A = this chain, B = another copy of it.
Amino acid sequence: MALIVQKYGGTSVANPERIKALASRVARYKALGHQIVVVVSAMSGETNRLISLAKEIMATPDPRELDVMVSTGEQVTIGLTSMALMDLGIKAKSYTGSQVRIVTDSHFNKARILKIDGDRIRKDLNAGYVVVVAGFQGVDEQGNITTLGRGGSDTTGVALAAALQADECQIYTDVDGVYTTDPRIVPEARRLKSITFEEMLELASQGSKVLQIRSVEFAGKYKVKLRVLSSFEEEGDGTLITFEEDKNMEQPIISGIAFNRDEAKVTVLGVPDRPGIAYQILGPIADANIDVDIIIQNTGADGTTDFTFTVHKNELNKALEILRNIQAHIGAREISGDDKIAKVSIVGVGMRSHVGVASQMFRTLAEEGINIQMISTSEIKIAVVIDEKYMELAVRVLHKAFELEEAGIS
């Protein structure tokens, strides 16, 4: 008997038929004697519907009140999911994030989980219940409803698995695992049977849509065994996320290609090149709770420096406004933004022991005439920022250049 946390996303609960299918799957696991905690997202489209409704009232919805509203999406799903289980004769009970208590900080719309009280759930599991928990949401110490931001249901699943010391956290989605890249862009993309936590982290942070990055961080931190599976297929083992490289295995050089067109580029030109200038620029951005991804600084010959960084597209205008307010103070010549960019990354632990990966990537792009605007690297990743219109082309030629259609980790 194992304790399994199963997380189902929006497409897995899109309508009553899908919810019934979900319940049947849970019933099969339950029949094997497992204890099951089900974490569900809002029905697909519901969160966007609620956000649109809010925007009809207030152009920039108040963050606290928006969380009050959008958290109802998952609340409806937990009720429906519990009833679907009961309809199969299974004891089930739902909890909102607030009821569990999934305690978060007070950053509305993008809260972070601080602690989870697993007592009520454990009690219910021991009494034979399947426990159904609303993903994506929590409650702060003052009792305000919070949400974790997009993709937060994955985080809820992993965090619950950690808190309950579950044997496995299964993330059900509309793909049957992690692929070398998105099969909609490269039809030859292959499913990976397993992938290391580090690679997954890079793939997730680089924009692979399979898992939300914070959930992968959580899984790594608490050593939660994480598996990605399809909710549309009865069979299949999905992709297992492992925490150690298999030393005996011949590693391919790279295991996957991620891409992301959600970012925008902010450029600050001609600021005096003096100590502390990076902080003067990025400090106010951080204070406004805007996440920054890639940061590049180039010092020119004239005693000034150019500073470029990327933020989420939704926060481009806010970032530009902040910088224009301090433009005179920091002495910048020009401040500009560009949201027509895309980021493409190659990821693989094999990179560590292979030289020339970067140069192969740059040559491949050059051969297609794709100009590289920014480069960012880590031990197991190389990311480039390019013109948005070349994104699909870049992913395809890189997938071919690194022979991913044949390799994969298998």
Q: Chain A: residues with CB nearer than 8 A to chain B? A: 16, 19-20, 50, 53-54, 56-58, 61-62, 64-66, 68-69, 71-72, 75-76, 78-80, 82-84, 86-87, 93-94, 96, 98-99, 143-145
Contacts and interface: CB of A to CB of B under 8 A. Distances in A.
Given A68-B94, A98-B98, A99-B143, A76 B53 contact: yes
A103 B56 CA distance: 33
B82 A76 contact: no
Secondary structure of the A side of the interface? helix
Nearest to A17: B56
Nearest to A73: B72
22 contacts: A16-B53, A16-B56, A16-B57, A19-B57, A20-B57, A53-B76, A54-B83, A57-B84, A57-B87, A58-B86, A58-B87, A64-B94, A65-B82, A68-B75, A68-B94, A68-B96, A69-B75, A69-B79, A71-B75, A72-B75, A72-B76, A75-B75
Contacts of A50: 76
B62 A69 contact: no
Nearest to A50: B76
Given A72-B72, A99-B143, A143-B99, A79 B56 contact: no
B54 A79 contact: yes
A57 B86 CA distance: 10
B75 A58 contact: no
A301 to B, nearest CB: 51
Given A69-B79, A72-B76, 20 more contacts: A16-B53, A16-B56, A16-B57, A20-B57, A50-B76, A53-B80, A57-B83, A57-B87, A58-B86, A62-B82, A65-B80, A65-B83, A65-B94, A68-B79, A68-B82, A68-B94, A69-B80, A72-B72, A72-B75, A99-B145
B78 A68 contact: yes
Nearest to A69: B79
Copies of this protein in the complex: 2
A126 B61 CA distance: 24
Contact of A79 (B65, B78, B87, B99): B65
Nearest to A15: B56
Contacts of A82: 62, 65, 68
Given A72-B72, A72-B75, A80 B99 contact: no
A20 to B, nearest CB: 7
A220 B159 CA distance: 49
Contacts of A99: 143-145
A116 to B, nearest CB: 15
Nearest to A139: B99
Contacts of A62: 82-83, 86
A338 B66 CA distance: 48
B58 A84 contact: yes
B58 A69 contact: no
Contacts of A20: 57
Nearest to A86: B62
A23 B75 CA distance: 27
A80 B49 CA distance: 13
Given A99-B143, A143-B99, A58 B72 contact: no
Contacts of A61: 83
Nearest to A83: B58
A143 B98 CA distance: 10
Contacts of A19: 57
A45 to B, nearest CB: 14
Interface centre among A66, A69, A93 (most CB of B within 10 A): A69
In the A-B complex, the 6 residue pairs with the smallest Cβ-Cβ separation, listed nearest first, are A69-B79, A72-B72, A58-B83, A16-B56, A68-B79, A65-B79
A72 B145 CA distance: 13
A75 to B, nearest CB: 5
A342 to B, nearest CB: 34
